[in-house]
Amino acid sequence: MGVAGCKPCEEDTSTNSQITPIAGLATDEVVPKAGKFFSGKLEGKWLRQGDNVLLGEIKDEKMLWEQIYQHGPSVLSAVNEKTIALNLEGDRHEGAVYGEGEKITWSDGEVWIKSA
């Protein structure tokens, strides 16, 4: 990004036209996102176990539902190291994550498997 001056400011030679840096704001500093959700293990496409219907894709901390469901993204949250949660149409669902993130068993009994 850096600091860029506008044309009128560059032409003004008075002492009032100097740019004053904002304290605590570093222009070249990039703050990395604090780790990936579940170390990225859940990212990918997910199917419903049994009929292998494609439900959607987990990306970052969101479930991006397939268009057929006509539902916006659902935010996922970590309950603990082996459990996630999402709110869907006003109901909170918790899911137990198995293995290296290849299976989620939800509190309503539905089971998701990660697409290969």
pLDDT for the residue numbered 34? 56
pLDDT for the residue numbered 80? 94
The three-state (H, E, C) secondary structure of the chain, written as one string: CCCCCCHHHHHCCCHHHCCCCCCCCCCCCCCCCCCCHHHHCCCEEEEECCCCCEEEEEECCEEEECHHHCCCCEEEEEEECCEEEEEECCEEEEEEEECCCCEEEECCCCEEEECC
Return the closest-CA partner of residue 94 out of 69, 112, 68, 114.
112
pLDDT for the residue numbered 114? 97
pLDDT in tens, the chain (116 residues): 333 434 444 444 444 445 444 454 444 443 334 568 889 999 999 999 999 999 999 999 999 999 999 999 999 999 999 999 999 988 999 999 999 999 999 999 999 999 98
The reported pTM is 0.69
Phi, psi of 66 (to 5 degrees): -60, 150
pLDDT for the residue numbered 36? 81
